[in-house]
Amino acid sequence: MKNRKRMVALAGRAGLFLLLCAVAWSLPAQQPGPAQKADSILILKRDHVMELLAGGKVIRTYKVALGQGGLAPKEREGDARTPEGHYTINSRTAASHYHKGLHVSYPNAEDRKRAAKLGVSPGGAVMIHGLPNGKGWLGAGHRLYDWTLGCIAVTDEEIDEIWNLVPVGTPVEIRP
């Protein structure tokens, strides 16, 4: 009698388990939605942080390395400083000396005017990019010091993610 009750109880649990499995099997699979695209980028130089935003909300945050010329704003070509101001992502580069890059529209009108007053070239070629080709193994260690010539650097894995989230035309604000 005891064994029979135990068998009925087990059969009942097994039946319930099979019923739950059948229900779960019939439900549509939950697929993760596509990653939300960024509609702006904010770079905070003092904090060495880059934020991707969508609808005013931060969707990703990255620690970054900046220009080796210090935290002052870029003034001229060759000063190895990262600029400050409002720009856009105006092109993408998959084949360069770095593992992918997003070109920042530096210099803007203010940058050109300031450089003209100083009688110098404002420079250009400012990018958000990965590590130098063949140096991806450095990973997050590259952030131990500012090493770029004025660009914003992230790891190769991070630039791969950013590449997929940031379309050409995305506004970029670089703050002190």
Pairing of strands 127-129, 152-153: parallel
The answer to whether residues 69 and 130 belong to one domain is yes
Name the residue range of residue 70's domain.
Answer: 40-175
Q: Is the pLDDT of residue 74 over 50?
A: yes
Percent of the chain past pLDDT 90, that is, above it, reads 78
Rounded CA separation 85/67 (Å): 15
The answer to whether residues 44 and 27 belong to one domain is no
Span of 3-17, 28-42, 138-152 with lowest mean pLDDT: 3-17
Q: Which of the four pLDDT bands, split at 50, 70 and 90, describes residue 3?
A: low
pLDDT at position 95 is: 84
pLDDT at position 1 is: 56
Question: C-alpha distances in angstroms, 136 versus 39, 80, 82, 155, 160?
Answer: 27, 22, 22, 7, 12
| CATH number of domain containing 160 | 2.40.440.10
Q: Which of the four pLDDT bands, split at 50, 70 and 90, describes residue 82?
A: very high
The answer to whether residues 5 and 79 belong to one domain is no
Percent of the chain past pLDDT 70, that is, above it, reads 81
The answer to whether residues 85 and 163 belong to one domain is yes
pLDDT at position 132 is: 95
Which of residues 31 and 68 earns the better pLDDT score?
68
Q: Which of the four pLDDT bands, split at 50, 70 and 90, describes residue 16?
A: very low
The answer to whether residues 76 and 121 belong to one domain is yes
The answer to whether residues 80 and 140 belong to one domain is yes
Average pLDDT over residues 88-106: 95
Q: Is the pLDDT of residue 170 over 60?
A: yes
pLDDT at position 34 is: 62
Q: Where are the alpha helices (DSSP H) in 27-120?
A: 109-118
What total number of domains does the chain contain? Answer: 2
Question: C-alpha distances in angstroms, 56 versus 38, 59, 64?
Answer: 10, 9, 21
Q: pLDDT, tens digit, for every residue of 105-164? A: 999 999 999 999 999 999 999 999 999 999 999 999 999 999 999 999 999 999 999 999
Q: Is the pLDDT of residue 13 over 90?
A: no
Average pLDDT over residues 66-75: 96
Query: Strand order of the sheet with strand 40-44?
Result: 57-63, 49-54, 40-44, 171-175, 85-93, 101-104, 127-129, 152-153
